Amino acid sequence: MGDGRRKHRDMEATPGVAAAPRVRVLLPLPLEPGTYDYRIPRGMSLAPGTFVVVPLNRREMIGVVWDGPPDPDLPAARLKDVIEALEVPPMTASLRRFVEWVAGYTLSPPGAVLRMAMSVPAALDPPARQVGWTLAPRPPAEGAVRLTAERRRVLALLAPGEVRAGAALAEAAAVSPGVVRGLADAGFLVPALLPEAASPFARPDPEHPGQPLAEGGQAEAARALREAVARRRFGVTLLTGVTGSGKTEVYLDAVAECLRQGRQALVLLPEIALSAQWLERFRRRFGVAPALWHSELTAKTRRETWRAVAEGKAPVLVGARSALFLPFPDLGLIVVDEEHETAFKQEEGVVYHARDMAVVRARLAEAACVLVSATPSLETLTNAEQGRYARLHLDHRHGGASMPAVEAVDLRKHPPERGRFLSPPLIAAVTETLARGEQAMLFLNRRGYAPLTLCRTCGHRLRCPNCSAWLVEHRAQRRLQCHHCGHAEPPPLACPECGTAGSLVPIGPGVERVLEEASALWPEARRLVMASDTLPGPAAAAAAAQAIRDREVDLIIGTQIVAKGWHFPHLTLVGVVDADLGLAGGDLRAAERTVQLLHQVAGRAGREERPGRVLLQTFSPEHPVMRALVSGDLDAFMRAEAAARRPGGWPPFGRLAALIVSAEDEREADRAARDLGLAAPRGEGVQVLGPAPAPLALLRGRHRRRLLLRTRRDVAVQPILREWLSRVDVPGGVRVQVDVDPVGFL
């Protein structure tokens, strides 16, 4: 007798149980497939998307009722009951499809993605409603109980049906809380739920008067975006324009249209903690602040925000990449500002690119998507050129401000003094700028004092014990620090290798060292260092930006955080201390990224009446990156980039996926990497590079090897990866991280 029939008989034998309806529930666990079947208790109705509490291994867990039929062959006796359905709006079908899509694309278990979509489990509990007092519908008969003057005062405060908190009543009537309790004991008051507190998320007013948009460019681009939102259909628009052309002002108009449509808008910013000025502009445009989502929110705010989004009470949310997974019931617009930024790539856990996933989320929600950048990525440009994205361009700065003049300073011709990093032309330019009472900025994308410490006697270099990386000296904190794992140690007095005392010397500059040099050159100038370790948190960054606007600072020395969208009206000179820095390393996108970053830094200069000037210190002024920055012809640069990548089939003209194999035991890492290499997929348009030690061959104590799958654009990498991984058995101590469309190659 076949198995299936026997099961059928079992079911017949216990009709009551077997007939109980079942559901599939996806649990937020990083396991495949992640769905589990449960029985629906009598009287409970569970539509897909409902948040439910279910038992799992003697624990209780919250999951989501998922689509698709439960497995009819599971014996009923093995199934447990759903414990409870939660009082939260169900997860929309569009978000459920998004969870599945991201899981499939990134090769992650759906439960791992679901976990990101329910990152605040506490938000799923209904907020505790406060209990207060109301007049009893049937109070004791008059005269039955003595009513003191105090008691009368309390009763007089309450209109029929009104509910007030005990403490508030006592205070208003100027009596002790005991009087209120006494009234309740005597039957004059009964407990009742207080009305819900008003949402802390104010509704931005789309008709709040904004800045009039400049006729021509701005107004026309805004009209096109408003139309895209009003269509209530999926579509992607790339909004480009030089720094300071008013792209933000234009896309805020699209947000206004989304509000008029009664749908929700999501704005993704690469570094929300540094976005004080952006928030200020939003407030000016709409009269209120938007809801925020980033890693530094308190637990309470996270809970309230998640719930407000789910209930449709947060009409506009601005956030970091994880905001994509919030439960918007009716998303009408997603804006990705600075779409080229690598900060949108999440490198840990579920490895995904928020810009790319924003497009998917918008498609599934029938929403408009707007990608914004002065220096769009080649991926996005190519999509626009091939007609998949619409394109809008603003071609000059707002208010007649001109673009800064960019010059290369050839360090071979104008070397800095020995042991110094600022060349004579740059020093002269800063001196002139300060003399005119304007602000100057020195940019160096390196934290700390010196990136390397070397023994003059034996040549030994101080390195991290856990990573293949040099230790960076942070002189102000008297520490050597690893920027990869956080390892820190006091600077040794003698070389740990040869024992020579006083022989360790710093090599190369970080911002602290540039500050030291600047202090000697311009002792009178008021200086400010802007780096992630000197400005911890949003409040410090906002205060620094304000001080710059208020002209309390003359000279700003900063890492890439100074590049981020700031508008400093009095800043007219930007000096790039080491323009070649990002070009080393041979990363596929090194040149593109350097142009993007330096163009953005340069864009801080001369944003109002006074013209800006930018000096790039470089050893290779003839490099295409420097030429593009000096000429300002970024389009030509990107065309050359495209031409360079196309023949080899590098992204975006082909696809890449990386496997990063890591283990504490080096031989284990090597063995697993070799096994993966031997099992590498072959075929038309498919190629595997590696295994090879990763540039960061040791990271946090784990040995790392990389393999890179490269395919033609028309080949889907996921099935290939899945098949490949299924053919290799990796031991427990080895991790294989899959990175589809890798951005970093360390």
CB 253, min distance to ligand ADP, A: 10
- Residue corresponding to tokens 């308190």: 298
Chain centroid offset of residue 474 CA: 27
Q: Which two tokens stand for residue 573?
A: 């000179």
Residue 49 or 241: which CB sits closer to ligand ADP? Answer: 241
Scanning residues 207 to 226, which ones bind Zn ion (CB under 5 A)? none
Question: Under the criterion CB under 6 A, does residue 567 sit at the interface with ligand ADP?
Answer: yes
CB 290, min distance to ligand ADP, A: 16
Other CB atoms within 10 A of residue 25 CB: 25
Question: Under the criterion CB under 6 A, does residue 213 sit at the interface with ligand ADP?
Answer: yes
Residue 50 or 245: which CB sits closer to ligand ADP? Answer: 245
How far apart CA 288 and CA 275 sit, in angstroms, is: 16
CB 93, min distance to Zn ion, A: 44
Pairing of strands 59-66, 80-81: unpaired
CB 387, min distance to ligand ADP, A: 24
Q: Which two tokens stand for residue 713?
A: 């654009």
- Give the single-character DSSP code of 147: -
How far apart CA 390 and CA 321 sit, in angstroms, is: 23
Q: Which stretch binds ligand ADP (CB under 6 A): 17-25, 73-81, 211-219, 310-318?
A: 211-219
**Spatial CB neighbours of 667, under 8 Å, sequence gap ≥ 6:** none
Apex CA 277: angle with CA 274 and CA 281, to 5°? 140
Per DSSP, the chain holds a count of helices (H) and strands (E) of 21, 32
Among 18, 485, 488, 630, contact with Zn ion (rule: CB under 5 A): 485
Q: Could you tell which of Zn ion, ligand ADP, none binds residue 554, using a CB distance below 5 to 8 A set by kind?
A: none
Question: Under the criterion CB under 6 A, does residue 214 sit at the interface with ligand ADP?
Answer: yes
What is the phi/psi pair of residue 463, to 5°? -125, 160
Q: What is the largest CA-CA distance in the chain?
A: 104
Residue 153 or 551: which CB sits closer to ligand ADP? Answer: 551
DSSP conformation letters of 193-249: EPPPPPPSS----TTS--PPPPTTHHHHHHHHHHHHHHTTS-EEEEEEE-TTS-HHH
Size of the site for Zn ion (CB under 5 A): 7
CB 399, min distance to ligand ADP, A: 6
CB 245, min distance to ligand ADP, A: 4
The side-by-side arrangement of strands in the sheet containing 84-85 is: 80-81, 35-39, 22-26, 59-66, 51-56, 84-85
Question: Under the criterion CB under 6 A, does residue 398 sit at the interface with ligand ADP?
Answer: yes
CB 449, min distance to Zn ion, A: 18
Residue 180 or 467: which CB sits closer to Zn ion? Answer: 467
Q: Which stretch binds ligand ADP (CB under 6 A): 152-160, 207-215, 293-301, 375-383?
A: 207-215
Scanning residues 447 to 466, which ones bind Zn ion (CB under 5 A)? 464, 466
How far apart CA 331 and CA 327 sit, in angstroms, is: 9
Pairing of strands 235-241, 368-373: parallel
Its sign, for the CA torsion 277, 278, 284, 287, is negative
Among 487, 551, 639, 735, contact with Zn ion (rule: CB under 5 A): 487
Residue 99 or 272: which CB sits closer to ligand ADP? Answer: 272
Interface mask toward ligand ADP for 219-258; x: CB under 6 A: ----------------------x-xxxxxxx---------
Question: Under the criterion CB under 5 A, does residue 482 sit at the interface with Zn ion?
Answer: yes
Residue 102 or 239: which CB sits closer to ligand ADP? Answer: 239
Q: Which stretch binds ligand ADP (CB under 6 A): 121-129, 209-217, 550-558, 646-654?
A: 209-217
Among 46, 467, 528, 557, contact with Zn ion (rule: CB under 5 A): 467
Binding residues for Zn ion, rule: CB under 5 A, are 464, 466-467, 482, 484-485, 487
Binding residues for ligand ADP, rule: CB under 6 A, are 211-214, 218, 241, 243-249, 398, 567
